[in-house]
Amino acid sequence: MPTKMLQIPTADGQADAFAAFPDGGGRHPGVLMYADGFGIRPVLRAMARELAGHGYYVLVPNLFYRHGPAPVIELPEYIGEEDRPAVFAQVMPLIEAHTPERVLSDADAYLRFLTTRPEVSAGPVAVTGYCIGGLLAMRTAAAHPGQVAAVAGFHGPVGADGPDLLSRLTAQVHLGHAEGDMSPEALGELNQALDAAGVSYTSEIYPDTIHGFTMRDTDAFNPAALQRHWDCLLPLLGRTLANG
C-alpha cells in the first residue's frame, strides 16, 4: 500500500504528516485522522494503512509540529503504567499549548491540503480522532459544516466545548467512549445535548474499556473495543462519503 511523508503548509510553518492510500491509482474519499496525544508512531501508521485499505486516502498530521517533527517526544515501544507519568509530563505541555485558535487554523490548512491532493476525490471528507484528537475532530467538523460529512471520536473529551460546538455540527457523528472516562449519567447528558442540537449520531460507552483502548502499543488496549471501533467507523464512512 502506498504511503508518503508530506509537508502541509500552515499559517505557522510546515506540519509534517503521514498519508496512506489504496493501491492502483485513482481518486478516493479523503479522511483526516487526528492522532492521540502520543502522536504519529507505528500504531497510528498501521491504523491509517488499515483504513486506507478500505478505499480511503488517510492523512495523519503531526499535531505538535510547532515543537518539531514527529516523534516530538521519545516514546517507549510499549507504554505501560510505569511509563505514563514521564510520558504525560512531556505530552501535557504540548496539549496545553495547542489552543483552540491553533486547532482551527491548522484544521483549515489540513483540509485545504487534503482536498487538493491528486489522489483525493471531489466531495465531502471525514474526520476521525483519538483521545485529544477526538475533540480536535469535533472542532474541525463544527468549523467546516459544508465540507465534513462524517466525524468520529474515540476515548476523547468530545463534550468539552459544550452545546455551542454541537449546534454547529452538520456531519453524521459516531462517538465511542471509554468506560473509564464516561459514566452512564454523563453519557445521557451528552446524548441529550446532541439530540437538542439536532445531530445525527451514535454515541456509546464501549464495555470494559479505559482511556486509550484503541492503541495496541499501550496497556489500555482492548482488542474487542478496537474491533467495535472499526465496526462503527467503516459504516459511517460508507454512508457519508462518495465511493466509500
Mean pLDDT over 196-219 rounds to 97
CB 51 within 8 A of CB 29: no
Query: Would you say residue 191 has pLDDT above 80?
Result: yes
Query: Would you say residue 244 has pLDDT above 50?
Result: no
Query: Would you say residue 29 has pLDDT above 70?
Result: yes
Query: Would you say residue 243 has pLDDT above 60?
Result: no
Query: Could you tell me the maximum CA-CA distance found in the chain, to the nearest angstrom?
Result: 48
Over residues 70-122, the pLDDT tens digits come to 999 999 999 999 999 999 999 999 999 999 999 999 999 999 999 999 999 99
Q: What is the pTM of this model?
A: 0.97
Scanning the structure block, which residue is given the C-alpha cell 502506498?
A: 2
Please state, rounded to an integer, the average pLDDT across all residues of the chain: 96
Cell of residue 238, nine digits: 460508507
User: What residues contact 122, with CB distance under 8 A and at least 6 apart?
Assistant: 27, 242
Query: Would you say residue 160 has pLDDT above 80?
Result: no
The rounded distance, in Å, linking the Cα atoms of 157 and 142 is 15
What band does 1 get if pLDDT is binned at 50, 70 and 90? confident
